Amino acid sequence: MRFTKMHGAGNDYVYVNCFEERLSGDVAQLARDISDRHRGVGGDGMILICPSEVADARMRMFNADGSESEMCGNGVRCVAKYVYDHGIAVKDELDIETGRGVLRLQVFPENGKVEQVRVNMGEPILEAEQIPTTLPGSPVVNVPLQVAGREFHVTCVSMGNPHCVTFVHEITDELVLVIGKQIEVHPAFPRRVNAEFIRIISRTEMDMRVWERGSGETQACGTGACASAVAGILNGLLDRKVLCHLPGGDLTLEWPENGPVYMTGPATEVFSGDWPI
């Protein structure tokens, strides 16, 4: 099976072109095996680039633990780059089908290769039942959450997948690796949740680290950055255009009033190879 390793701001996945490859058997187990950083190719998960009846391509995303997720912002940028660079659909605006629906992406090629991608991520989902979470409020803004004997005030947003955002004065390993891991499986989130920790720098800039559902800490999370920008705006902490600094790189988020969230960031192809099946 031919694969391509790609990353968006360090959020790395193994991509399989299902226009050419035919997968059978246990795809979840394949995702676990190929994502293993010691015994496989290594990555935050596996993403399949598939034919679509309603878009230029369809994205299926599997976390490193084999669970299938609805959406990945960094991943969908890389899908757009692959679709353009490899000649599946060579045009400046691409439609990619995801678990969130069909998203419109604008690509910015240089010398025939895409370097940056702007994504219409759709409108944020703020209704508690649709996120989903059992925490009170709709929207769930600055609500107390008990974790490991401590109280945190969180804001919950879905960008097609669920996010729990906590604003802190300092982002520490304990918060991300210990508290984030427990937030993921907290009973208040029936489908588990991604846990973001945000330090506000100014009204137009923030730092972020994330514990991702099914993958652990990752270098970046596009949907998480979008959800965190929305959460910052709902809490009166951020303006509607924000630069987000993540361990793997920077993303620019925009949320016009009563509209979709837009995310702009890099997409990088690293290498290709063959995986024995």
Active site residues per annotation? 72, 221
DSSP for 151-191 reads: EEEEEEEESSSEEEEEE-SS--HIIIIIIHHHHHT-TT-TT
Rounded to an integer, what distance in angstroms lies between the CA atom of residue 52 and that of residue 130?
26
**At 35, which helix (H) or strand (E)?**
helix 27-35
Of 160, 162, 27, which is closest to residue 102 (Cα–Cα)? Answer: 160
Write the CB contacts of 270 (distance below 8 Å, at least 6 apart in sequence).
Answer: 4, 5, 6, 7, 12
- Residue 196 identity (one-letter amino acid): E
